[in-house]
Amino acid sequence: MNVKAYAAQSATTPLAPWTVDRRAPGPKDVAIEILYCGVCHSDMHTARGEWHGVQFPAVPGHEIIGKVAAVGKEVTKFKPGQVVGVGCMVASCRVCDSCGEGLEQFCNGPVSFTGTYNGPVGGGANTYGGYSTAITVDQDFVLAVNHGEKDLAGAAPLLCAGITTWSPLRHWKAGPGKKVGIVGIGGLGHMGVKLAHALGAHVVAFTTSKDKVADAKKLGADEVVISKDPEAMKSHANSFDLIINTVAASHDLDAYMVLLKRDGTQVLVGAPPTPHPSPAAFNLIFKRRSLGGSLIGGIAETQEMLDFCAKNGITSDIEMIPMQDINKAYDRMLKSDVKYRFVIDMASLKA
Ligand code: NAP
Ligand code: ZN
Ligand code: ZN
Protein backbone atom coordinates (compact mmCIF):
# COMPACT_ATOMS: atom_id res chain seq x y z
CA MET A 1 0.00 0.00 0.00
CA ASN A 2 1.39 3.40 -0.98
CA VAL A 3 1.24 5.97 1.83
CA LYS A 4 2.26 9.60 2.15
CA ALA A 5 5.59 10.35 3.83
CA TYR A 6 8.31 12.98 4.16
CA ALA A 7 11.82 12.03 3.12
CA ALA A 8 15.30 13.47 2.72
CA GLN A 9 16.55 12.42 -0.73
CA SER A 10 20.15 13.26 0.24
CA ALA A 11 22.14 14.68 3.14
CA THR A 12 21.95 18.15 1.65
CA THR A 13 18.31 18.34 0.57
CA PRO A 14 15.52 19.35 2.96
CA LEU A 15 12.79 16.86 3.80
CA ALA A 16 9.96 16.90 1.24
CA PRO A 17 6.85 14.89 0.34
CA TRP A 18 7.47 11.32 -0.83
CA THR A 19 5.57 8.02 -1.02
CA VAL A 20 6.48 4.76 0.70
CA ASP A 21 5.10 1.29 0.04
CA ARG A 22 3.96 -0.37 3.29
CA ARG A 23 3.58 -4.16 3.23
CA ALA A 24 0.12 -5.71 3.68
CA PRO A 25 0.06 -7.25 7.17
CA GLY A 26 1.53 -10.78 7.24
CA PRO A 27 0.25 -13.32 9.82
CA LYS A 28 2.15 -11.69 12.74
CA ASP A 29 1.96 -8.05 11.59
CA VAL A 30 0.06 -5.04 12.88
CA ALA A 31 -0.93 -2.33 10.38
CA ILE A 32 -0.95 1.04 12.13
CA GLU A 33 -2.47 4.38 11.16
CA ILE A 34 0.00 6.94 12.54
CA LEU A 35 -1.51 9.77 14.63
CA TYR A 36 1.62 11.43 16.05
CA CYS A 37 5.38 11.16 15.64
CA GLY A 38 7.97 12.81 17.88
CA VAL A 39 11.03 14.53 16.42
CA CYS A 40 14.28 13.11 17.87
CA HIS A 41 17.70 14.69 17.34
CA SER A 42 18.67 11.30 15.83
CA ASP A 43 16.17 12.02 13.03
CA MET A 44 18.18 15.11 12.15
CA HIS A 45 21.58 13.36 12.47
CA THR A 46 20.16 10.82 9.98
CA ALA A 47 18.39 13.15 7.52
CA ARG A 48 21.51 15.31 7.30
CA GLY A 49 23.82 12.31 6.85
CA GLU A 50 25.81 13.16 9.98
CA TRP A 51 26.21 9.54 11.08
CA HIS A 52 28.11 6.83 9.22
CA GLY A 53 26.09 4.59 6.89
CA VAL A 54 22.89 6.57 6.35
CA GLN A 55 20.89 5.29 3.36
CA PHE A 56 18.84 7.68 1.22
CA PRO A 57 16.04 8.39 0.71
CA ALA A 58 15.66 8.60 4.51
CA VAL A 59 12.26 8.75 6.21
CA PRO A 60 12.98 9.45 9.90
CA GLY A 61 10.64 9.09 12.89
CA HIS A 62 10.80 6.55 15.72
CA GLU A 63 8.47 8.00 18.33
CA ILE A 64 5.25 6.71 16.82
CA ILE A 65 1.75 6.67 18.31
CA GLY A 66 -1.07 5.29 16.20
CA LYS A 67 -4.24 3.25 15.99
CA VAL A 68 -4.30 -0.36 14.87
CA ALA A 69 -5.93 -0.47 11.41
CA ALA A 70 -5.68 -4.23 10.81
CA VAL A 71 -3.94 -7.31 12.23
CA GLY A 72 -2.62 -10.55 10.70
CA LYS A 73 -4.38 -13.80 11.59
CA GLU A 74 -1.82 -14.95 14.16
CA VAL A 75 -1.75 -11.63 16.04
CA THR A 76 -2.86 -12.16 19.63
CA LYS A 77 -1.53 -9.06 21.40
CA PHE A 78 -3.43 -6.30 19.57
CA LYS A 79 -6.80 -5.62 17.99
CA PRO A 80 -8.12 -3.05 15.48
CA GLY A 81 -8.85 0.34 17.01
CA GLN A 82 -6.35 -0.08 19.86
CA VAL A 83 -3.83 2.73 20.52
CA VAL A 84 -0.26 1.50 20.13
CA GLY A 85 3.30 2.75 19.96
CA VAL A 86 6.37 1.92 17.90
CA GLY A 87 9.83 3.00 19.01
CA CYS A 88 13.30 2.68 17.53
CA MET A 89 13.29 -1.03 16.53
CA VAL A 90 11.07 -3.12 14.26
CA ALA A 91 12.96 -6.45 14.25
CA SER A 92 15.86 -8.38 15.81
CA CYS A 93 17.18 -11.96 15.55
CA ARG A 94 15.20 -13.15 18.66
CA VAL A 95 17.57 -16.07 19.30
CA CYS A 96 20.83 -14.49 20.54
CA ASP A 97 21.66 -14.02 24.25
CA SER A 98 20.69 -10.34 24.22
CA CYS A 99 17.33 -10.97 22.55
CA GLY A 100 16.73 -13.83 25.01
CA GLU A 101 17.26 -11.41 27.89
CA GLY A 102 14.85 -8.85 26.44
CA LEU A 103 17.67 -6.55 25.33
CA GLU A 104 16.89 -6.58 21.61
CA GLN A 105 18.71 -3.27 21.14
CA PHE A 106 21.98 -5.14 21.78
CA CYS A 107 21.07 -8.03 19.45
CA ASN A 108 24.20 -9.90 18.35
CA GLY A 109 22.41 -11.59 15.47
CA PRO A 110 24.13 -11.45 12.11
CA VAL A 111 22.64 -8.03 11.24
CA SER A 112 21.97 -6.61 14.74
CA PHE A 113 18.50 -5.15 15.34
CA THR A 114 16.54 -3.46 12.54
CA GLY A 115 15.92 0.22 13.18
CA THR A 116 12.50 1.70 12.49
CA TYR A 117 14.27 3.86 9.94
CA ASN A 118 17.65 3.46 8.23
CA GLY A 119 17.28 -0.04 9.67
CA PRO A 120 19.53 -2.54 7.93
CA VAL A 121 22.90 -1.58 9.35
CA GLY A 122 24.33 -4.88 8.05
CA GLY A 123 22.76 -4.69 4.56
CA GLY A 124 19.34 -5.40 3.03
CA ALA A 125 16.40 -3.17 2.16
CA ASN A 126 16.10 0.21 3.85
CA THR A 127 13.36 0.85 6.44
CA TYR A 128 11.19 3.94 6.54
CA GLY A 129 10.04 5.53 9.80
CA GLY A 130 7.18 7.44 11.30
CA TYR A 131 7.13 10.62 9.21
CA SER A 132 4.31 8.98 7.28
CA THR A 133 0.63 8.19 7.61
CA ALA A 134 0.94 4.43 8.21
CA ILE A 135 3.39 1.66 9.07
CA THR A 136 3.29 -2.15 9.31
CA VAL A 137 5.21 -3.74 12.19
CA ASP A 138 5.64 -7.26 13.65
CA GLN A 139 3.51 -7.52 16.81
CA ASP A 140 6.58 -8.26 18.96
CA PHE A 141 7.87 -4.73 18.32
CA VAL A 142 4.55 -2.96 18.95
CA LEU A 143 3.82 -1.47 22.38
CA ALA A 144 0.49 -1.04 24.17
CA VAL A 145 -0.23 2.60 25.08
CA ASN A 146 -2.59 3.21 27.99
CA HIS A 147 -2.43 7.00 28.18
CA GLY A 148 -5.76 8.81 27.76
CA GLU A 149 -6.78 10.32 24.41
CA LYS A 150 -5.65 13.87 25.33
CA ASP A 151 -2.19 12.66 26.35
CA LEU A 152 -1.39 10.66 23.22
CA ALA A 153 0.70 13.33 21.45
CA GLY A 154 2.72 13.85 24.65
CA ALA A 155 3.22 10.10 24.96
CA ALA A 156 4.92 9.82 21.54
CA PRO A 157 8.37 11.00 22.76
CA LEU A 158 8.34 8.29 25.44
CA LEU A 159 9.08 5.79 22.65
CA CYS A 160 12.64 7.11 22.27
CA ALA A 161 13.43 10.02 24.62
CA GLY A 162 11.57 8.27 27.45
CA ILE A 163 13.07 4.80 27.13
CA THR A 164 16.59 6.08 26.36
CA THR A 165 16.73 7.81 29.74
CA TRP A 166 14.61 5.24 31.64
CA SER A 167 16.86 2.32 30.71
CA PRO A 168 20.11 3.70 32.20
CA LEU A 169 18.24 5.15 35.20
CA ARG A 170 16.97 1.64 35.98
CA HIS A 171 20.19 -0.19 35.05
CA TRP A 172 22.30 2.05 37.32
CA LYS A 173 19.57 1.98 40.01
CA ALA A 174 18.47 5.60 40.28
CA GLY A 175 16.10 5.97 43.22
CA PRO A 176 15.74 7.31 46.75
CA GLY A 177 19.08 8.25 48.31
CA LYS A 178 20.84 8.57 44.92
CA LYS A 179 22.09 11.84 43.47
CA VAL A 180 21.50 11.84 39.71
CA GLY A 181 22.66 14.45 37.19
CA ILE A 182 21.03 14.97 33.80
CA VAL A 183 23.17 16.88 31.28
CA GLY A 184 21.42 18.77 28.44
CA ILE A 185 17.77 19.68 28.87
CA GLY A 186 16.44 18.83 25.43
CA GLY A 187 14.11 16.03 24.36
CA LEU A 188 16.00 13.25 26.17
CA GLY A 189 17.16 15.41 29.07
CA HIS A 190 13.75 16.77 30.05
CA MET A 191 12.41 13.20 30.13
CA GLY A 192 15.46 12.15 32.15
CA VAL A 193 14.65 14.82 34.75
CA LYS A 194 10.98 13.79 34.94
CA LEU A 195 11.75 10.07 35.20
CA ALA A 196 14.63 10.36 37.68
CA HIS A 197 12.41 12.55 39.87
CA ALA A 198 9.51 10.08 39.61
CA LEU A 199 11.90 7.27 40.63
CA GLY A 200 12.70 9.21 43.81
CA ALA A 201 16.28 10.33 43.12
CA HIS A 202 17.75 13.73 44.03
CA VAL A 203 17.95 15.30 40.58
CA VAL A 204 20.37 17.96 39.35
CA ALA A 205 19.86 19.34 35.83
CA PHE A 206 22.87 20.69 33.91
CA THR A 207 22.08 23.17 31.15
CA THR A 208 23.88 25.67 28.96
CA SER A 209 20.64 27.68 28.62
CA LYS A 210 19.86 30.19 31.37
CA ASP A 211 16.24 30.38 30.21
CA LYS A 212 15.69 26.69 31.10
CA VAL A 213 16.45 27.03 34.83
CA ALA A 214 12.89 27.69 36.00
CA ASP A 215 11.50 25.02 33.66
CA ALA A 216 13.98 22.40 34.82
CA LYS A 217 12.72 22.88 38.39
CA LYS A 218 9.12 22.49 37.22
CA LEU A 219 10.13 19.31 35.38
CA GLY A 220 11.34 17.86 38.68
CA ALA A 221 14.95 18.98 39.19
CA ASP A 222 15.89 19.64 42.83
CA GLU A 223 18.80 21.80 41.66
CA VAL A 224 19.84 23.34 38.35
CA VAL A 225 23.44 24.14 37.36
CA ILE A 226 24.51 26.35 34.47
CA SER A 227 27.29 24.16 33.12
CA LYS A 228 29.26 27.17 31.81
CA ASP A 229 29.67 28.48 35.40
CA PRO A 230 32.88 26.91 36.82
CA GLU A 231 32.08 27.84 40.46
CA ALA A 232 28.62 26.28 40.28
CA MET A 233 30.13 23.12 38.75
CA LYS A 234 32.83 22.95 41.45
CA SER A 235 30.25 23.07 44.23
CA HIS A 236 29.03 19.61 43.10
CA ALA A 237 32.49 17.95 42.95
CA ASN A 238 32.70 14.28 44.07
CA SER A 239 28.98 14.03 44.82
CA PHE A 240 27.05 12.16 42.09
CA ASP A 241 26.14 8.48 41.96
CA LEU A 242 25.07 8.75 38.32
CA ILE A 243 25.22 11.34 35.55
CA ILE A 244 23.33 10.82 32.29
CA ASN A 245 24.77 12.91 29.48
CA THR A 246 22.34 13.60 26.60
CA VAL A 247 24.30 16.31 24.79
CA ALA A 248 24.19 16.00 20.99
CA ALA A 249 27.57 17.71 20.41
CA SER A 250 31.18 16.87 21.22
CA HIS A 251 32.34 18.44 24.53
CA ASP A 252 34.61 18.06 27.58
CA LEU A 253 33.46 15.00 29.57
CA ASP A 254 35.97 15.60 32.38
CA ALA A 255 33.86 18.54 33.56
CA TYR A 256 31.31 15.87 34.62
CA MET A 257 33.66 12.98 35.51
CA VAL A 258 35.02 15.03 38.42
CA LEU A 259 31.51 15.54 39.79
CA LEU A 260 31.09 11.77 40.36
CA LYS A 261 31.79 10.35 43.78
CA ARG A 262 33.81 7.15 44.29
CA ASP A 263 32.35 4.38 42.08
CA GLY A 264 30.03 6.84 40.32
CA THR A 265 29.19 6.46 36.62
CA GLN A 266 28.70 8.89 33.77
CA VAL A 267 26.53 7.35 31.05
CA LEU A 268 26.64 8.76 27.53
CA VAL A 269 23.40 8.60 25.60
CA GLY A 270 24.00 11.64 23.39
CA ALA A 271 25.51 10.50 20.09
CA PRO A 272 27.42 13.40 18.51
CA PRO A 273 28.72 12.82 14.99
CA THR A 274 32.30 13.72 16.06
CA PRO A 275 34.06 12.17 19.10
CA HIS A 276 34.42 13.84 22.49
CA PRO A 277 37.98 14.77 23.52
CA SER A 278 39.32 11.76 25.45
CA PRO A 279 38.63 11.94 29.21
CA ALA A 280 41.66 12.02 31.55
CA ALA A 281 42.54 8.59 32.99
CA PHE A 282 43.40 10.06 36.39
CA ASN A 283 39.82 11.21 36.97
CA LEU A 284 38.70 7.60 36.51
CA ILE A 285 41.54 5.87 38.37
CA PHE A 286 41.59 7.81 41.60
CA LYS A 287 37.94 7.36 42.44
CA ARG A 288 37.22 4.11 40.55
CA ARG A 289 34.78 6.07 38.41
CA SER A 290 33.21 4.65 35.23
CA LEU A 291 32.28 6.10 31.87
CA GLY A 292 29.56 4.08 30.13
CA GLY A 293 27.02 4.24 27.35
CA SER A 294 23.46 3.11 26.81
CA LEU A 295 21.30 2.49 23.73
CA ILE A 296 17.52 3.03 23.83
CA GLY A 297 15.98 0.06 25.74
CA GLY A 298 14.49 -3.40 25.18
CA ILE A 299 10.87 -4.01 24.26
CA ALA A 300 9.87 -5.34 27.70
CA GLU A 301 11.44 -2.39 29.52
CA THR A 302 9.86 0.02 27.02
CA GLN A 303 6.46 -1.43 27.95
CA GLU A 304 7.38 -1.16 31.65
CA MET A 305 8.30 2.52 31.16
CA LEU A 306 5.09 3.28 29.19
CA ASP A 307 2.98 1.65 31.91
CA PHE A 308 4.87 3.53 34.65
CA CYS A 309 4.28 6.82 32.80
CA ALA A 310 0.58 6.10 32.18
CA LYS A 311 0.10 5.23 35.87
CA ASN A 312 1.98 8.32 37.10
CA GLY A 313 0.58 10.78 34.54
CA ILE A 314 3.95 11.35 32.86
CA THR A 315 4.18 12.68 29.30
CA SER A 316 6.65 14.81 27.37
CA ASP A 317 6.33 18.60 27.18
CA ILE A 318 5.67 19.12 23.50
CA GLU A 319 5.20 21.66 20.74
CA MET A 320 2.91 20.25 18.06
CA ILE A 321 3.86 20.98 14.45
CA PRO A 322 2.42 20.13 11.04
CA MET A 323 4.57 17.78 8.90
CA GLN A 324 5.25 20.69 6.51
CA ASP A 325 7.25 22.55 9.24
CA ILE A 326 9.79 19.78 9.83
CA ASN A 327 12.78 21.57 8.28
CA LYS A 328 12.15 24.68 10.40
CA ALA A 329 11.83 22.43 13.45
CA TYR A 330 15.26 20.87 12.77
CA ASP A 331 16.86 24.32 12.57
CA ARG A 332 15.27 25.29 15.88
CA MET A 333 16.30 22.00 17.53
CA LEU A 334 19.89 22.71 16.53
CA LYS A 335 19.66 26.01 18.45
CA SER A 336 18.22 24.19 21.53
CA ASP A 337 15.03 26.17 20.85
CA VAL A 338 12.37 23.59 21.65
CA LYS A 339 10.44 23.10 24.87
CA TYR A 340 11.03 20.24 24.91
CA ARG A 341 10.05 18.00 22.01
CA PHE A 342 8.45 18.67 18.64
CA VAL A 343 5.66 16.25 17.80
CA ILE A 344 4.22 16.01 14.29
CA ASP A 345 0.43 15.91 14.02
CA MET A 346 0.08 13.39 11.21
CA ALA A 347 -3.38 14.72 10.33
CA SER A 348 -1.42 17.50 8.56
CA LEU A 349 0.11 14.94 6.17
CA LYS A 350 -3.18 13.14 5.57
CA ALA A 351 -4.93 16.41 4.62
P1 NAP B 1 17.97 17.79 21.74
O2 NAP B 1 16.52 17.86 22.01
O3 NAP B 1 18.58 18.64 20.67
O4 NAP B 1 18.72 18.05 23.15
C5 NAP B 1 20.11 18.12 23.29
C6 NAP B 1 20.43 19.14 24.38
O7 NAP B 1 21.85 19.13 24.56
C8 NAP B 1 20.10 20.57 24.01
O9 NAP B 1 18.78 20.91 24.28
C10 NAP B 1 21.07 21.36 24.88
O11 NAP B 1 20.56 21.43 26.22
C12 NAP B 1 22.28 20.45 24.93
N13 NAP B 1 23.30 20.88 23.96
C14 NAP B 1 23.17 20.97 22.62
N15 NAP B 1 24.31 21.38 22.06
C16 NAP B 1 25.20 21.52 23.06
C17 NAP B 1 26.57 21.89 23.13
N18 NAP B 1 27.26 22.22 22.03
N19 NAP B 1 27.16 21.91 24.34
C20 NAP B 1 26.47 21.59 25.44
N21 NAP B 1 25.16 21.26 25.43
C22 NAP B 1 24.55 21.21 24.26
O23 NAP B 1 18.40 16.29 21.35
P24 NAP B 1 17.78 14.90 21.85
O25 NAP B 1 16.72 14.46 20.91
O26 NAP B 1 17.52 14.96 23.29
O27 NAP B 1 19.03 13.92 21.56
C28 NAP B 1 20.25 14.12 22.22
C29 NAP B 1 21.32 13.20 21.65
O30 NAP B 1 20.99 11.85 22.03
C31 NAP B 1 21.43 13.16 20.13
O32 NAP B 1 22.80 13.05 19.78
C33 NAP B 1 20.68 11.91 19.74
O34 NAP B 1 21.08 11.38 18.50
C35 NAP B 1 21.06 11.01 20.87
N36 NAP B 1 20.16 9.86 21.10
C37 NAP B 1 20.73 8.73 21.57
C38 NAP B 1 19.94 7.63 21.87
C39 NAP B 1 20.56 6.40 22.45
O40 NAP B 1 19.93 5.35 22.38
N41 NAP B 1 21.71 6.49 23.05
C42 NAP B 1 18.57 7.71 21.66
C43 NAP B 1 18.01 8.89 21.20
C44 NAP B 1 18.82 9.97 20.93
P45 NAP B 1 20.74 22.75 27.13
O46 NAP B 1 20.08 23.86 26.37
O47 NAP B 1 20.05 22.38 28.39
O48 NAP B 1 22.21 22.94 27.31
ZN1 ZN C 1 15.45 8.89 19.04
ZN1 ZN D 1 19.34 -11.05 18.72
- Provide the pLDDT for residue 186: 97
Q: Are residues 323 and 202 in the same domain?
A: no
Say which CATH number the domain at 175 has: 3.40.50.720
Confidence of residue 5 (pLDDT cuts 50, 70, 90): very high
User: Quick one: the chain helix, strand, coil %, rounded to 5?
Assistant: 30, 25, 45
Q: Are residues 67 and 209 in the same domain?
A: no
- Provide the pLDDT for residue 122: 56
Residue 151 has pLDDT above 80, yes or no: yes
Which residues lie with the beta carbon below 6 Å from any ligand 1 atom?
40-42, 45, 160-161, 164, 184-189, 207-209, 212, 246-249, 251, 269-272, 294-296, 333, 336
Compute φ and ψ for 159, nearest 5 degrees.
-65, -20
**Is 70 domain-assigned?**
yes
**Portion of the chain with pLDDT greater than 70, in percent:** 99
**Is 300 domain-assigned?**
no
Q: Are residues 144 and 186 in the same domain?
A: no
- The whole-number average pLDDT for the span 231-237 is 98
- Please give the number of the atom of ligand 1 that sits closest to the Cα of 269: 41
- Provide the pLDDT for residue 125: 86
Q: Are residues 227 and 137 in the same domain?
A: no
**Is 305 domain-assigned?**
no
pTM, two decimal places:
0.97
Q: Are residues 165 and 264 in the same domain?
A: yes
- Please give the number of the atom of ligand 1 that sits closest to the Cα of 39: 25
- The whole-number average pLDDT for the span 299-321 is 98
Q: What is the pLDDT of residues 268-283, one digit of tens each?
A: 999 999 999 999 999 9
Q: Are residues 32 and 73 in the same domain?
A: yes
Q: What is the pLDDT of residues 285-299, one digit of tens each?
A: 999 999 999 999 999
What's the total number of domains in the chain? 2
- Provide the pLDDT for residue 119: 86
Q: Are residues 289 and 331 in the same domain?
A: no
- Provide the pLDDT for residue 283: 97
- Provide the pLDDT for residue 211: 95
- Provide the pLDDT for residue 345: 98
- Provide the pLDDT for residue 52: 87
How far is residue 107's CA from residue 112's CA, in Å, rounded to a whole number?
Answer: 5
**Is 310 domain-assigned?**
no
Q: What is the pLDDT of residues 27-36, one digit of tens each?
A: 999 999 999 9
- Residue 164 CB contacts under 8 Å (≥ 6 apart), including other chains: 188, 191, 269, 294, 295, 296, 297
How far is residue 259's CA from residue 233's CA, in Å, rounded to a whole number?
Answer: 8
Query: For the chain, where are the E strands, in sequence order?
Result: 2-7, 16-21, 29-38, 64-71, 83-86, 89-91, 114-115, 134-138, 143-144, 179-183, 202-207, 223-226, 240-245, 260-268, 290-293, 318-322, 341-345
How far is residue 91's CA from residue 277's CA, in Å, rounded to a whole number?
Answer: 34
| Among 37, 39, 41, residue to substitute to test ligand 1 (most atoms within 8 Å of Cβ) | 41
- Please give the number of the atom of ligand 1 that sits closest to the Cα of 250: 18
Q: Are residues 186 and 149 in the same domain?
A: no
Q: Are residues 145 and 182 in the same domain?
A: no
**Is 298 domain-assigned?**
no
How far is residue 345's CA from residue 36's CA, in Å, rounded to a whole number?
Answer: 5
- Provide the pLDDT for residue 53: 86
**Is 308 domain-assigned?**
no
**Is 303 domain-assigned?**
no
Q: What is the pLDDT of residues 98-123, one digit of tens each?
A: 999 999 999 998 777 899 999 875 56
Q: Are residues 179 and 39 in the same domain?
A: no
- Please give the number of the atom of ligand 1 that sits closest to the Cα of 227: 48
**Is 218 domain-assigned?**
yes
- Provide the pLDDT for residue 121: 56
- The whole-number average pLDDT for the span 157-180 is 98
Show the domain range for 46. Answer: 2-160+315-350
Say which CATH number the domain at 134 has: 3.90.180.10
Report the chain's mean pLDDT, rounded to a whole number: 96
Task: Output the residue whose Cα is nearest ligand 1's atom 11.
Answer: 184
Higher pLDDT, 125 or 214: 214
Cα of 110 to ligand 1 centre, how many Å? 30
Q: Are residues 237 and 127 in the same domain?
A: no
Q: Are residues 186 and 249 in the same domain?
A: yes
